[in-house]
Amino acid sequence: MVSEFDLIARYFTRPLRANSPTSLGIGDDCALLTPSPGMQLAISCDMLVEGRHFFPGADAARLGHKSLAVNLSDLGAMGAKPVAFTLALSLPQVQPDWLAAFSEGLFSLADEHACELIGGDTTKGPLNICITVFGEVPAALALRRDAAKAGDDIWVSGTLGDARLALAACNKELVLDSAEFTAASLRLDQPAPRVALGNALRGIAHAAIDVSDGLIGDLGHILKRSGVGAVLNVDALPVGTALSKQTQDLRRRFALAGGDDYELCFIAPAARRMDVEAAAQKSCTQVTRVGSITGQTGMKLVDAAGQPLELSVSSFDHFAAS
């Protein structure tokens, strides 16, 4: 019988990196982290549950990637640089193949961002993955949700709606050709967190959020916390090739409220457009200007011609959706 401690040791313990800010990692009551002077610690936590956030039997390597990616996405949205993370894992049984693949997917993305696994917990139970991630951001430079100002531009990174498109294909709501399905599935299963862009936007953007529940809902959080409104040009929303071939209605709905995008929606002064473009170039990330912040509260959706749109879409909600 493989013991819990053997399990942890075999798949998740690695030596700490050289120059690691962590002086003690897995194997003690706590990990010890030495924060850099002048930095604030940005902390985020996401829990992924089988059957809700991923399909039963989901590919373990992709799941390892995604579990960390959704957390790194939060650091990106804060303008923070990843440092470390903890992993709590509830597993129905010990499957070496699954653990090997999961940890490979996890560590591959972690290494890309120099983000170290410093502690955690494993237990038996329904499959559940809970990661808490730690990043650093210079004091007062964090991209919060409450600092959008009237007159600011609204931007989004990458393309929206691809993950929802993949889900629709999986659910047989529509048919994609093989190449399109592969591309969309990658966006659903292995999102690339926009950490580099978020870091490059420090001191430029006023506010940011990562788009995980759909743009309309997530932008709504910024508007509410900042006490402002927005005009959003729905037809300016960036979509990928496959989604651009779908009907106008579906394209709009998926881009506005698809969920699982893990792109950044950020708010920057109109006077900083060139700086935003430079940050995008520096981080090799596409950005698109999609609207503007208004002093009057509420979100006004308009089409390419500036005409008001009445769309009944709402953001994803884990309980309401059930």
206 assigned to a ligand binding site: no
Of the candidates 11, 42, 226, 276, which one interacts with a copy of itself according to CB under 8 A? 42
- Residue number with CB closer to a copy of itself (45 or 174): 45
59 assigned to a ligand binding site: no
Backbone angles phi, psi at 143, to 5 degrees: -90, 95
- Residue number with CB closer to a copy of itself (95 or 248): 95
Query: Which residue in the block uniquely carries the two structure tokens 């508007």?
Result: 223
Q: Give me the least distance between CB of 225 and a copy of itself, in Å please.
A: 7
- Residue number with CB closer to a copy of itself (120 or 269): 120
Q: Give me the least distance between CB of 239 and a copy of itself, in Å please.
A: 24
312 assigned to a ligand binding site: no
- Residue number with CB closer to a copy of itself (30 or 305): 30
Q: Which range, of 11-19, 105-113, 205-213, 277-285, touches a copy of itself by CB under 8 A? A: 205-213
Q: Give me the least distance between CB of 195 and a copy of itself, in Å please.
A: 12
Backbone angles phi, psi at 297, to 5 degrees: -70, 165
| Strand-pair category, 116-124 with 81-91 | parallel
- Residue number with CB closer to a copy of itself (221 or 273): 221
- CB pairs under 8 A, 24+ apart, for 23-31? 25/116, 25/117, 25/118, 25/119, 26/117, 26/118, 26/119, 26/120, 30/119, 31/84, 31/86, 31/118, 31/119
- Residue number with CB closer to a copy of itself (94 or 150): 94
Structure tokens belonging to residue 316:
């994803």
**What is the number of other CB atoms lying within 10 angstroms of the CB of residue 91?**
18
Q: Give me the least distance between CB of 50 and a copy of itself, in Å please.
A: 8
106-135: which residues touch a copy of itself (CB under 8 A)? 118-126, 128, 130, 132, 134-135
Q: Give me the least distance between CB of 100 and a copy of itself, in Å please.
A: 16
Distance CA 241, CA 3 (A): 48
267-306: which residues touch a copy of itself (CB under 8 A)? none
Of the candidates 11, 12, 33, 163, which one interacts with a copy of itself according to CB under 8 A? 33
Distance CA 295, CA 302 (A): 17
210 assigned to a ligand binding site: yes
Q: Is 9 in the site for a copy of itself (CB under 8 A)?
A: no
Q: Is 42 within 8 Å of 15 (Cβ atoms)?
A: no
Structure tokens belonging to residue 260:
């699982």
6 assigned to a ligand binding site: no
Distance CA 154, CA 266 (A): 6
- Residue number with CB closer to a copy of itself (42 or 256): 42
Q: Give me the least distance between CB of 143 and a copy of itself, in Å please.
A: 8
Of the candidates 60, 137, 156, 231, which one interacts with a copy of itself according to CB under 8 A? 137
Nearest Cα residue to 192 out of 108, 274, 126, 272: 108
DSSP states of 47-93 as a string? EEEBTTTB-TT--HHHHHHHHHHHHHHHHHHHTPEEEEEEEEEEESS
CA distances from 229 to 221, 225, 226, 283, 297 (A): 11, 10, 9, 29, 4
64-103: which residues touch a copy of itself (CB under 8 A)? 74-75, 77-78, 80, 84, 86-90, 94
Binding positions for substrate: 53, 260, 316
Binding positions: 29, 44, 46, 53, 74, 120-121, 145, 210, 212-213, 260, 316
